A and B are shown apart, each in its own frame.
Chain A
């Protein structure tokens, strides 16, 4: 036990040795379940257990095994995980996004917390000396994402490849390299950008840098004590004057599985899945993630600077265990030392501590040692009972290791700030071995108001942190004596809010309610507090009060109230659910009185909720507690007991002293509360002992300051004690009699002759009798069988009877002490049932006298009513008096409102009471409900509130080595090829293997013999020409696309950003650099003539070819781009281009004029557009900038990369509000709408007619089917429950839905000869939305679709075959919302295609004026016709963009129109669509145009495919004719495109609005995309042509190769389908479907076809054909040949390796045969070498090569030669490679000459003769391949 003097001073100066108090002025944190101190506090008092199972990205499969024997596994995956809360917006904090992915997440969360702590401390509004501000953070070194990235990229990948090489030594190096690259592909980067992010010390360095702080900045690792030691250092720095502010805290943002594994080695982690410190369930700890910071200043500075001070730090003590039992075992001596040092330093006694935040890990041994240490320092219970609340926040968030004390400190700080004792979870039953009842500590399991009775010392708390390795610390915190009422209440989420809607009269109120109901976002995404506070600010005599528990609840109640208000006969609304409105408010008719209940109404935990939120209520209990404390009596623990002791102490609550004291305290507290709300009654009255509170309230007691009140309470308590002890009055029995007729009771009482008397006449239904036990018993007997309800009461005092008479002098003395005088408010007496004369003597007489006279409450109430009181407010616990009043005044106009009732949340009852008062016209200052919780005012004249878009999630998981499917397929495909039967010798012992196939192995069906041999020898997949038409034996089905996009893709090419200028070296802006290398497109001049001089500012770069950067920056600043001199022909082109430009400009100006006209009519009413600036990373925002930005944010829509200009879906008040009774003029007339009548009125969802007969059901189904006929896509109704659910199927086909031809991927022309050959038709998402809208309309007939929201597009709806079936499932979600899912009905399961919620309304709703900012960027650098000519593949039915007027990184604005509906349905009747589908599609095309560069540069471009749409709204006339203007604002990340879009008509009205559209950006081959628009343009480069230039015959051939940069995309089956539909004819398409190849072989198959077709069309048709018009087929030997549209046959040969293909086509009739082959430039394994070549051949090849390096090429060339000859001869290599003999090599000509032998010689005797001329095969190296070409001349 520490014995020190109790400190009486709140603050200490440095002079007394203790050091100045340190003020905590700012807090920030992110802990499991909480991303702010406010949320953390809400979770704490809300008892939120934020422990959860690890998320999937934690990779539990790698680390977790609950029961396994492995020592490298964790047996629990439970812990405190940040999950979705872990968000970081790099741009906001001036961090380059490229620096994040491969770095330690702690760095960024710590930076965010630092910013937020500053912001919380009011900086920059309040001063801070940056030069003397330090940062000291606790942090441990654990394995983490950043360093694991380095490890994986360096060590792990290479080790893995080595292991792979050991396992599969025969593999080519290229295959290992592929795996290496594929593995690295998925890892985060590891480079100069990410390096600072893995340097431990740079964590604080980055904060100092970003916040510009010059104090010391370092991290401390002291295990679990790290944060407390960081604070200790901070305290020292501040006290020494070296710093004026210190940011202290701790960080442990991620807890990878490895850390769990190691803690499991100690058996330290809990197997029960929870942390239960000090409880009988303690079973270990669990790890948690998080970061928390405290901004510290000296108290005097903080006070001078006007800081908010959360709490004070008195001292931090620390110690080490010294020579303990072991490094990891806690040692009590060491712990005690740290605790003692803290109290010694602070000069305060542990006896003044009321709350102890323990280290409390939940590990039983640690908990026991900690209790020992605490006992040793804190001593025995002071009054025989525990008085310190003990807990550990680890039970809620887990053990945050070095940051654990950050959570402890912030929790304790907020507990002191809110004067609330916080609870601990899972500690309901204490660990009996700890014997806590003998200590000063009790386990706090429920949040309690921290009632404080010690007048000598403020509230104090201790915080323990004891670390591994024996490092201990203890901090002492103290409350700061601020004005609590002026400070924020961080527990701002109340269980409900009171929303009072006001207007001048009933009609206006109805209009206001209806407006609000429509104006608010229907998805209830607004903040209820903000709304309630904003409504409270409005005034009016007619008031509707709504107690709403959630935004959705409010919407329901608003709608309900609107319905009731519209009922003319209704004159009030009074619903227990929390609705109050009165036609004739009572406060306008009469007076308001307050009634105070007396003894007996107290109950445990009364007003606890109010105490927490309203300090004045708690303060009155504090005062009572002080009075009790002076006498050594318990108070707080009796009134607010912890559950474990509640039963024991409850009887004490009914002892005279505490009973009266607690009821009076409650009355005083609630009275103060009522005053806060400005409610001033006309009269007060007290029931029994409630009179004391009434006297105080009336002002009859002269002085009522705190000290005087404590005296009054003390005197009252002494008086009560005296009464109890004096035995001046006899004990009595009491009986409550209810429901007994008055005359009967009177008769029975008369029979008692005074032995039993009436003590209280409460109301007609309740009277209290008092008397002797015998008398009461006889009354009970007399009442037996007479009905009613009798209850004996538990107390025994004969109050309000003559028996009290002897004790009156005691009361007199107390009343004298009160020093009564004339009251300021009229006071009534229940003894006289009248108002008390305003004279002190009369008051005194009644105050005394009432104790011996019955309480005539019934009569009093009646008299008050007669005197005009209409509203009674019960100010005290329980609410009994309100019921008495209701009973008494039944049938008469009155209102009785209780501020508190048991069994109801205190806040909720307060809201109901204030709501009822407000509705009755009592003036109530409602803002007091909200002011301490920081409501943000809502502008009802502006947009409806919408939640802010959340910031990007910061990945915490460890990077995983993995391969994607394509890489695995590639690897396995090779392995499979090696295993091909029957000739494979691989895997078998040589002597058991089949004998070598040559000389003449039988060919298996469909597979030429040479390939079998090749497979046997080479062990790789067949690559020869013969595989055309050969179905692979490996039949892994083509996976249906599971892509996350939908068929609405549109082109977006990576843009050069003119702002990109920084380099990675300075760490700023490196992410902005273009990823794709920039190359000048020489062909661009010819192909884009209009752009030679598109803009005047471009003239300076006239000497350059088209330089995409030239527009954004000067030519001089782009040295990377080599200037290309203009040649003669180019000048011609330029002239043409200039003419073209002039034409374009003319057209541009014309359209400009039209647009200007449109805008002219809209400018007037529009606010200035947002000025948008690109983030500046050289000058990152500082907190002060942030503050300015926040101010600006309020003033105007803010736009940055993650927060695009926000649109909201509100209804401006100027918009006409169509009501149900007044159909909107824009509602379709009967003639416009389908003619069908709804089969039945809409049936509310809540009342499905379950008793429908089968016949009626069938009728209904028939009716719905008839109704469905009006909708084009509601084909087959499968199921229908009107108003509830509808299931419809629809078959989709090109024949029925011709618009699909205008929505094909990609390109509108695939063939010049066959119109039936189309690219892959994809159902537009807009049409899928139509499916949804139709289903919803059919389900809810008579309603209009006004919006779709929460749309999720899951997969393509592609038309692979002739038709597809979809099922549409619609379910009513609410009265006006239908959830619709569209699923595949013909696949192998009901895969979802899309889903969303359709909103309906009785009438259409205006969308009002535009809200997107007016963009002012620049004109796009392409011609209007290019939009659909080059960039957007949509056909005429979906073409509507006329002119893009404004274009830039913020978005686009364009003149658009809606195409004629008939365009969509050529040649057939145009059906009625519910939605303006074409317009929706056109609107969706706009955002992606932003990425269309003025040159198509690089080899890939980005396409955008919609994933999600937050909301689409439609105006009444959503099928507008005439010119429209579309505006899209966008924001982009590397993977997503976010946009909002509005379409505005000529009247300036919005007709369509897209909100929160999120699209996935997909990289696609630019060449292929361009081919789609111009199918005659070259697709496969002919680089091979020049390579073989000079080879005899090569001038009669066309050589091609295909190696598209994005070819790997083809391994996704969807993209393979897209490409197949672009280039294949009917027969080839059928073959493609039959092939069933794995993805990689399939992709290579396609590439080879591209190459061959390209070669053929170039050779035979000069390129002027579509690839689909060149057919590839095989001859009788399986040899490929090409067939042209005119039937001509063209010789062709092709070969391919994964993602690489070559082909050659020859002039017909020139050659005997042609053959081509390709081989990777990699060593041929030795055993294959032996198979392929004999000794002579090997020697010849080696001699020709000269060097080892060249030998590889020559060997491969030799191989190629043999294959090429086999192909050229048309039969493949018969008999094996030895049947083609190499006889000569020519290094100069790069050729190999061969002769035939064996089977080959036999098959082709003309080449097999001894004198036959050798066949020469030329070879060349192309990229990393050897290509062999055999052009066999005619003999």
Chain B
């Protein structure tokens, strides 16, 4: 894991982004977000929330060219869910 610290940073970033996006909801019962938090299963993301996530990531890193379809699509269909880890991996691959 040569770039483990970098990934850890992305993980922190993603958690922060997701926390902002879900600020409308209390987290008291679901506990803090972590690397295994899933955006649909745990955070109840709907399709529009994914757009928010994409734009928030773009805003944070100042990058408009990230190939999000890699992250969001498999076999021509939207993936069912994503975890913080998966998003951080994606970011470290394309930004880190």
Contact = CB atoms under 8 A, between A and B. Distances in A.
Given A556-B29, A564-B26, A788-B55, A576 B50 contact: no
Contacts of A788: 51, 54-55, 58, 64
A564 B27 CA distance: 12
Interface stretch (A104-112, A402-410, A880-888): A880-888
B6 interface: no
Contact of B72 (A575, A765, A789): A789
A766 B48 contact: yes
Interface string B37-73: 0001001101111111011001000011100100010
Contact of B54 (A556, A560, A789, A903): A789
A577 interface: yes
A739 interface: yes
Contacts of A573: 26
A738 B46 contact: no
B30 A577 contact: yes
B83 to A, nearest CB: 15
B51 A765 contact: yes
Contacts of A560: 28-29
Contact of A575 (B29, B46, B48): B29
Find the residue from A579, A788, A789 having the highest chain B CB count within 10 A.
A789
Contact of B40 (A784, A880, A883, A903): A903
Interface in A229-248: none
A945 interface: no
Given A564-B28, A883-B49, A903-B80, 20 more contacts: A556-B29, A560-B28, A560-B29, A575-B26, A575-B27, A575-B28, A577-B30, A738-B48, A738-B50, A765-B55, A787-B64, A788-B54, A789-B72, A879-B46, A880-B47, A880-B48, A883-B47, A883-B48, A886-B48, A903-B40
B29 A787 contact: no
B75 interface: no
Interface in A786-828: 786-789
Interface in A1384-1417: none
A763 interface: yes
B54 A557 contact: no
Interface string A560-593: 1000100000000111110100000000000000
Interface in A885-908: 886-887, 901, 903-904
A1361 interface: no
B52 A765 contact: yes
A879 B46 CA distance: 8
Interface of B: 24-30, 40, 43-44, 46-52, 54-55, 58, 63-65, 68, 72, 80
B51 A789 contact: yes
A785 interface: yes
A1303 B46 CA distance: 67
Contacts of A880: 46-48
Nearest to B80: A903
A884 B48 contact: yes
A739 B54 contact: yes
Given A739-B54, A739-B55, A787-B64, A574 B24 contact: yes
A127 B1 CA distance: 79
Contacts of A575: 25-30
19 contacts: A556-B29, A564-B26, A574-B24, A574-B25, A574-B26, A577-B30, A579-B29, A738-B48, A763-B48, A766-B48, A785-B65, A788-B64, A789-B68, A789-B72, A880-B46, A883-B46, A883-B47, A886-B48, A903-B40
Nearest to A912: B44
Contacts of A576: 25, 30, 43-44
B91 to A, nearest CB: 15
Contacts of B64: 785-788
B48 A789 contact: no
A964 B63 CA distance: 81
Interface of A: 556-557, 560, 564, 573-577, 579, 738-739, 763, 765-766, 784-789, 879-880, 883-884, 886-887, 901, 903-904
Contacts of B47: 880, 883
A557 B29 contact: yes
Contacts of A787: 54-55, 58, 63-65
Nearest to B63: A787
Nearest to B29: A577
Nearest to A884: B48
A1064 to B, nearest CB: 61
A880 to B, nearest CB: 7
Nearest to A572: B26
B66 to A, nearest CB: 8
Contacts of A901: 46
Nearest to A901: B46
Nearest to B40: A903
Contacts of A785: 64-65
Contact of B51 (A564, A577, A739, A879): A739
B26 A887 contact: no
Top 4 closest pairs, chain A to chain B, by CB? A787-B64, A738-B51, A739-B55, A883-B48
Contacts of B55: 738-739, 765, 787-789
Nearest to B55: A739
Contacts of A883: 46-49
B51 A766 contact: yes
A507 B86 CA distance: 45
A787 B63 CA distance: 7
Nearest to B64: A787
Contacts of A579: 26, 28-29
B96 to A, nearest CB: 19
A576 B80 CA distance: 19
Contacts of B58: 739, 787-788
A573 B27 CA distance: 10
Contacts of A784: 65
Contacts of B50: 738, 789
Nearest to B57: A787
B27 A887 contact: no
B27 to A, nearest CB: 7
Contacts of A903: 40, 80
A560 B28 CA distance: 8
A1308 B24 CA distance: 71
Contacts of B24: 574
Nearest to A904: B44
Contacts of A574: 24-26
A903 to B, nearest CB: 7
A340 B55 CA distance: 66
A556 B31 CA distance: 13
B25 to A, nearest CB: 5
A886 B58 CA distance: 21
Contacts of A904: 44
Contacts of A765: 48, 51-52, 55
Find the residue from A574, A765, A879 having the highest chain B CB count within 10 A.
A765
Contacts of B30: 575-577
A354 B43 CA distance: 41
Contacts of B80: 903
Contacts of A577: 29-30
Contacts of B72: 789
B43 to A, nearest CB: 7
Nearest to A883: B48
Contacts of A789: 50-51, 54-55, 68, 72
Nearest to A738: B51
Contacts of B65: 784-785, 787
Nearest to B42: A576
B88 to A, nearest CB: 19
A784 B48 CA distance: 20
B93 to A, nearest CB: 17
A763 B51 CA distance: 12
A763 B24 CA distance: 18
Contacts of B49: 883
A903 B80 CA distance: 9
Nearest to A556: B29
A766 B50 CA distance: 11
